[in-house]
């Protein structure tokens, strides 16, 4: 039974540059789904916005490496 303090999955939003088609979406989704703890990946092709639901906060370098492996670039966070 889950602990009452458990708030469910973490959701983080990233921006990926260079995606132009559904193949791009599939490639990024596949690589991010390989990261430990990832439960779901949602990609908005038009904006490049990628939402990742995971069991715990993701390591930014692992996310960057996964996006790079897919052939795209993780945009720097907005300040």
Residue 2 located in a structural domain: no
- Looking at residue 9, its pLDDT comes to 82
Q: Which helix H or strand E contains 65, and what residues bound it?
A: helix 60-70
Query: What's the pTM?
Result: 0.86
Output the average pLDDT for the chain: 91
Residue 22 located in a structural domain: yes
Q: Which residues of the chain have pLDDT under 50?
A: 1-4
- Looking at residue 73, its pLDDT comes to 96
The span from the CA of 24 to the CA of 43, in Å, is: 10
- Looking at residue 58, its pLDDT comes to 95
The domain total for the chain is 1
Q: pLDDT tens digits for 56-75?
A: 999 999 999 999 999 999 99
Residue 46 located in a structural domain: yes
Range of the domain at 38: 10-74
Q: What is the CATH number of the domain that holds 20?
A: 3.30.70.100
Residue 64 located in a structural domain: yes
Residue 58 located in a structural domain: yes
- Looking at residue 79, its pLDDT comes to 58
According to DSSP, residue 63 is labeled H
């Amino acid at each position: 039974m889950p602990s009452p303090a458990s708030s469910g999955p973490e959701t983080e939003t990233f921006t990926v540059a260079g995606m132009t088609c559904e193949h791009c979406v599939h490639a990024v989704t596949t690589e991010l789904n390989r990261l430990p703890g990832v439960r779901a990946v949602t990609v908005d092709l038009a904006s490049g916005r990628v939402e990742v639901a995971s069991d715990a906060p993701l390591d930014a370098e692992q996310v960057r490496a996964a996006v790079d492996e897919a052939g795209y670039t993780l945009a720097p966070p907005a300040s």
